[in-house]
Amino acid sequence: MKHYKIKEIHLTWQGEGYHTGRRAVFVRFTGCNLWSGREEDRHKAICQFCDTDFVGTDGHDGGHYSAKTLTDHILNLWDNPDECPYAVFTGGEPLLQLDEALIAELKRKDIIIALESNGTLPAPEGIDWICMSPKANTTIVQDHGQELKIVFPQEGIDPKDFNNMKFEHRFLQPMDGNFTEQNTEACRAYIQENRQWQLSVQTHKILGIP
């Protein structure tokens, strides 16, 4: 039986993008194809600005789960019996593990499946909401979905390069760090001139929500 390596699982609110403020169970897979997650490797990583810990299974409710036990755990965490559970699968890069078998089990229990991916791997059928956040110096293969979210400004990425991709909603999100204020202004200026884009703010960091 296949088991999925999970860094952490928690019931929270979506903090960014189109579904900001929506209640969600976040499932963070271990592993990424753009960085090992180890600080000593950051300087040679394809994505060097990641601020997420996706190494190991030692986070809240982390561990090794089968498709059934992971699905059951999501259902146990969900706190609104009048609404279909909404689960966000993230990482690292969730498509290293999220597969048809897990999707089928989630669908069997009427769980709404949302994905946050870097776009370098194709998404299987059955995912309800695909949010693609591209990183520079990668080959994007997931060229359609519901949400495109670019961390901005990002050297090597021009939002215009994604004009022909089929996404329903487009967001620029200020790169966090020492220059967050300047990066927010850069997003505002770009959006002012390119109205098909919207601003995404990491409200979970502002509010201290996990």
Q: Which residues are catalytic?
A: 26, 32, 47, 50-52, 116, 204
Q: With contact defined as beta carbons under 8 Å apart, do 17 and 200 qualify?
A: yes
Q: With contact defined as beta carbons under 8 Å apart, do 158 and 140 qualify?
A: no
CA angle 140, 150, 209 (to 5 degrees): 120
| Residue the block writes with tokens 């299974």 | 57
Handedness of CA 13, 197, 163, 158 (dihedral sign): negative
Label residue 6 exposed, middle or buried (CB < 10 Å: 0-12, 13-18, 19+).
Answer: buried
Q: Which amino acid makes up residue 55?
A: V
* Rounded Cα gap, residues 142 and 127, in angstroms: 13
Q: CA-CA distances (angstroms) from residue 6 to 66, 69, 90, 123, 159?
A: 10, 12, 10, 19, 32
Task: Copy the structure tokens of residue 54.
Answer: 């996706």
Please give the torsion angle defined by the CA atoms of residues 182, 184, 190 and 194, in that order, rounded to the nearest 10 degrees: 180
